[in-house]
Structure 1
């Protein structure tokens, strides 16, 4: 992470980060000197320095005139972490104080409204394909207890889920990927798939994979299906060649019966309509 990224984590405004960076270079100095060195308006410099002092990043040295001295870089980072910890504890305490009245007010409303929801409306909710769908997919990997099954053309989004995939494998989760057979792919997607398969062999040897010899009508990820229809979650999208990816949506379900059906489809293709080795 570069310096700008660290200042972003410190949640500093433009003048504040400019002043702090210059102070770390100059050391102890006065407000007018710092304003001249940074170009920060003199009408703003005192407020900027007081804000930095309030956060514990700068020490105020009494005198005529007052001087300002930065704390060490290590101390600044430690103070930032402590500030965030204290803010979280305060936030958590405020939530706890409001919890009883909030639940009393809205719990009955939610229960009454939920009783009126038709079963079909509980089957799915949708998110946009892209960052939103990838975020939901990562969540499924992180929450999986036993198994993850993936249906994909070439698994081109591996980069976005790789840390979550590694986490699942580290926790002993079984991960199996059903690719579309390369003979059914375009030349571009075939090349992507080849690279992804090589990467899986090298970085994620615990992942099982096969290649479907039939077209896959849907793509997606399902986790922890139960043939008793009691558990299971999935995200999926159907093949829509004429719809741009940016305009498509993915369906998310936590309906155990539906996920069990998706698992049966996955198992049938895996066992009867796929090959185990990457075609030469």
Structure 2
């Protein structure tokens, strides 16, 4: 785990992350010593230390010279959560305050093509981008979520959204690939994930008796082609997962087609999960 990168992803600058980690290692030190330990230039270190103190990650001890002390790991984690929520609230309030004006400005700039139809699909990379899209779809679900997966290894990353969907009465069906098509690791992962799901959700789960040509999630489909969203990845054994793209669609006809595929496998080519 590259902790410096994680701290940067959570909102600290590179110099702030280096300085905080240096102080965590030494406990308490003068600015000049922190500069030497962290590699942050002396011309920058005083400002960085003051920033960290203002953010609540370290304490500044008055004196000549002043000394700095890192807070405990528990306090740092607590402050990271608090600062993240604070920043999220600040940005959300900004959007709410300028929403009307921003909409009108964007509307005045927007030049649609003469003929504009709903895109059949758009493409996102597999990994964090596709997981972000999946979480958003689960949050938007009103009636139904159908999931097709091998072992549902990414469940912990979408757990909160699925739990909330289940709590608001969304019907959840999960179709997993049969154990005969999995390696030992996949079987173990699937066993652990299904156990977790049973403790979290009111969801039906089945195992397919055939290899699944695509995987993904279907949201609020309808056979009258009026509603539905989906995200899916086509199985391609020759391409590593991290090099694949996921397709996202809000085209009700395409979603209905994927739903029919799901229903056929669910009804005729799968067995209840024991």
Q: Please, what TM-score do these two structures have when normalized by structure 1? A: 0.69
Cα gap change, 1:19 to 1:50, in 2 (>3 Å): farther
Q: Answer yes or no: is the 8 Å Cα contact 1:58–1:69 preserved in 2.
A: yes
1:127 correspondence with 2:124: yes
Aligned equivalents of 2:186, 2:80: Cα separation in 1: 46
Question: Equivalences for 1:82-97 in 2 at 5 Å?
Answer: 85=86, 89=90, 92-93=93-94, 96=97
1:204 correspondence with 2:233: no
Question: Equivalences for 1:58-207 in 2 at 5 Å?
Answer: 81=82, 85=86, 89=90, 92-93=93-94, 96=97, 100=101, 102-110=102-110, 112-113=111-112, 115-119=114-118, 122-183=119-180, 185-186=181-182, 188=183, 192-193=186-187, 195-197=189-191, 199-201=193-195, 203-204=197-198, 206-207=202-203
Instruction: Quote how far apart the aligned CAs of 1:235 are.
Output: 0.6
Q: Answer yes or no: is the 8 Å Cα contact 2:174–2:205 preserved in 1.
A: yes
Aligned equivalents of 1:162, 1:212: Cα separation in 2: 22
Instruction: Quote how far apart the aligned CAs of 1:10 are.
Output: 7.0
Aligned equivalents of 1:51, 1:265: Cα separation in 2: 55
Q: Please, what TM-score do these two structures have when normalized by structure 2? A: 0.70
> What CA deviation, in whole Å up to 9, does each residue of 1:103-149 have, x standing for no partner?
44431443x41553344xx1100111222222222222232222211
1:17 corresponds to: 20
Instruction: Quote how far apart the aligned CAs of 1:232 are.
Output: 1.3
Q: Answer yes or no: is the 8 Å Cα contact 2:4–2:18 preserved in 1.
A: no
Q: Answer yes or no: is the 8 Å Cα contact 1:220–1:236 preserved in 2.
A: yes
Aligned equivalents of 1:198, 1:60: Cα separation in 2: 48
1:248 corresponds to: 244
Aligned equivalents of 2:107, 2:232: Cα separation in 1: 31
- Find the residue that maps to 2:116 and give its secondary structure: coil
Runs of 5+ consecutive residues of structure 2 not aligned to the other structure? none
Q: CA RMSD in A?
A: 4.4
1:263 correspondence with 2:264: no
1:223 correspondence with 2:219: yes
Runs of 5+ consecutive residues of structure 1 not aligned to the other structure? 27-32
Aligned equivalents of 1:198, 1:223: Cα separation in 2: 25
Aligned equivalents of 1:219, 1:70: Cα separation in 2: 50
Cα gap change, 1:249 to 1:163, in 2 (>3 Å): same
Instruction: Quote how far apart the aligned CAs of 1:222 are.
Output: 0.5
- Find the residue that maps to 2:222 and give its secondary structure: coil
Instruction: Quote how far apart the aligned CAs of 1:82 are.
Output: 7.5
Q: Answer yes or no: is the 8 Å Cα contact 2:125–2:245 preserved in 1.
A: yes
- Find the residue that maps to 1:163 and give its secondary structure: helix
